[in-house]
Amino acid sequence: MNFSFKLFKGSTPEEKVLKKALANILGFIPGYMPYYVMALTHRSSAGDTLNNERLEFLGDAFIGSIVGEYLFKKYPTQNEGYLTEMRSKIVSRQSLNAVAIKMGLPKLVRYNKQDKVLGRSHIFGNAFEALVGAVYLDKGFETTNKFLKRKLIGTFLDIDELEQTEYNFKNRLYTWAQKNNYSLDFNTIWERFEAGRKIFNVGIYVNNQLFVAATGYAKKEASQTAAQKALEMLETQQDLVFRSLQDQAAAPEDDTEARQPDTADQTAAPRTTPEEAPSSQPGDTPPHTPGKKHPRNRSRKGSAGDDTAGNKLPESGEADKDQ
């Protein structure tokens, strides 16, 4: 194929080092190296015209089907809903990124290391999916099947432990809100381009108050990260959170202006608009928009693209964590 000449011209020292490292990870010696180089090349890598996104698409399909077959045979009495939930846990971005890190892929992936946002995102899990695609093109389905069942399921994932793990933080947070009779909304606060990629900042609003916010390269990713942070706050500061919500409920309603709450990062900095806000990374708190009005008493049906705001909850004082 044409791209082979762009990636490698003959056997080079770089190729030999990479082939040895991949052999340790895969459990077999790679054949056609350009597939693997492409799988480990993120689009942010300077000077590379080819990246791993197409192989990521291919690998994702095989991971889903092979994991599906494995679960079908492992749980012969479980229904479709259970199997679907288990597969979602295994192939989730958080899970695959953790597997990739355990494998040692961060040392092999080529990406723009000056972009600190990338190092904290899920690019290593994406590279793992691309690596699976490369294995399929190089060795065929049987080798891909054995590799996934031996490495992904047999070595780096504890299926029994995963069975007890809840990755859908949004669902857990919605359950908490319904149990306590609170309104809960996920809303996009801002979105912009940084380093050629679009970044989203999503806030969680409880009773129209901004509770916590997080950023990510997709709204879904940012929402899940924010939900995870919110659950962590509820576990560590539950009394403080409940007391603040009760105080808010007892306070007189001011319908003239819905105040956008400040966040922990804004205590020592002047307020700015989203357009004026400095560059941020996943997990940063949202920029302030003075005087912006928002609808009140929104239900769970609010979409991620709507803007809402309210009064201020206690600040966690903790830095955002990106999954």
Catalytic residues: 60, 129
Which residues on adjacent β-strands are paired with residue 204?
Answer: 186, 212
Residue 305: helix, strand or coil by DSSP? coil
CB 225 within 8 A of CB 281: no
Question: Under 8 Å CB-to-CB from 296, ≥6 apart: which residues?
Answer: 208, 253, 255, 258, 310
CB 227 within 8 A of CB 170: yes
Give the H or E element holding residue 209. Answer: strand 209-216
CB 23 within 8 A of CB 85: no
Amino acid letter for position 192: R
Taking the C-alpha atoms of residue 48 and residue 43, their distance in angstroms, rounded to an integer, is 7
Q: Please return the burial class of 48, using the count of CB atoms within 10 Å of its CB with bins 0-12, 13-18 and 19+.
A: middle
Question: Under 8 Å CB-to-CB from 243, ≥6 apart: which residues?
Answer: none
Amino acid letter for position 220: K
Taking the C-alpha atoms of residue 276 and residue 218, their distance in angstroms, rounded to an integer, is 22
Question: Under 8 Å CB-to-CB from 226, ≥6 apart: which residues?
Answer: 186, 202, 203, 204, 212, 213, 214
For strands 184-194 and 209-216, give the pairing: unpaired
